[in-house]
Amino acid sequence: MNAQLPLEEETSRFVDLAGLRVHYNEAGAGHPVIFIHGSGPGATGWSNFSQNLVHLAESFHVIALDCPGWGKSDTPSAEQSDLVEVVRELMDKLQLEKAALVGNSMGGAVSISFAVRYPGRISHLITMGSPCPVPNVFSETMTTEGLKILFEAYAQPSPENFKKLVEVMCFDPSFATDELAAQRSAAALATPDHLKKFLQPDNFATLLPGFFELGGKIPQISVPTLAIHGRNDRTVHYENSLQLVSMIPNSRLLLLNQCGHWAQLEHSAEFNRSVAEFLQHSYG
C-alpha cells in the first residue's frame, strides 16, 4: 500500500514527564515501536525517521521521540537527563507495557541500555549505527571524522558546518541536500539551550549513565535483536555492530555497503522492509 506521508503537525504530541515537557510524533496502531534519534545538533524524531514512520505505521503503533535536549522537548537538568528513564516514563504515561525500540546512534545506545535495565519492557531491540560498550579492536571510537564534525557543528552552528554534518553522515552525496542541512540548522538554532547542554563536559554521562560499563551485561539481552550498520559509516564504525551481534545470542546483522551513518535515509526501502519483517516474524 502506498500511503501518503503525514504532515509533522498531524502526528505531533506533547506529554509531561517528571517536570519535563516532551515532544513525540505518533501514528498507526498495533504493537508499539518507539524510534529514538541520534545526538547531532538539530536531530529530532521526525527528521531522523519521517519517511520510515509512514511505512511502519501501516502495521504498528509508531512513536518517534524528541529526547529532552533536542527538538521540541524541554532542555533537561542533569537530574532529568537519563534517557533510559525518559523512555520508561513515556511508556508508563502512554500505558505501554512493552515496546520494540529502534535507535539510531545515540538512540541505539539508549535502546541497548534499556534492554539491560528493563528487560521485561522491551520486545525487540533494533539498532543502526550504534556504539557498543566494549573496546574496539581495529577502529576509532570517540575521534572519528563524523564525531569531530558533529562537535564542531554544536560549538559553531554555522550553515557551513551543518552542510559538513549532513555530508559526513551520508555515503551518497545526493542525500546531503541543502534542504536537509537547513532543516537541521533551523531545528538546532530554534533552541540554543539544547546546544549549550550538549557541550557540557559531563553531558554523555548524564544522558547514558554507565553505558560503557555494560559490556559484561550485553550477553544477558535475550530479546530478538537486529543491528543495522552502514559499511561506510564515518561516525560510528561498523565494528560496533559486529561486537554487538557477537555477544547477543538472538541477534542478526544487516551490513549495508554504500551506506553511511543514516541507513534509514540512504536505504529507506530496505530499512523499512527489513524492520517490518523482523518485527512481524519475531513478535508473538
Question: Residue type for 87, please?
Answer: V
What are phi and psi for residue 235, nearest 5 degrees?
-110, -50
C-alpha cell at 108: 541505539
261 is catalytic: yes
C-alpha cell at 62: 509508531
Residue 91 near residue 42, CB atoms below 8 Å: no
Distance CA 123, CA 265 (A): 24
Distance of CA 17 to the CA centre of its chain: 20
C-alpha cell at 205: 554521562
* Cα Rg of the chain (Å, integer): 17
Distance CA 158, CA 171 (A): 22
Catalytic residue among 61, 261, 267, 281: 261
Terminal-residue alpha carbon distance, the chain: 24
Q: Are strands 251-256 and 225-230 parallel, antiparallel or unpaired?
A: parallel
Give the containing element (helix H, strand E) for 233.
none
Among residues 190, 181, 179, 189, the alpha carbon closest in space to that of 160 is found at: 181
Distance CA 143, CA 242 (A): 19
**Which residues belong to the active site?**
261
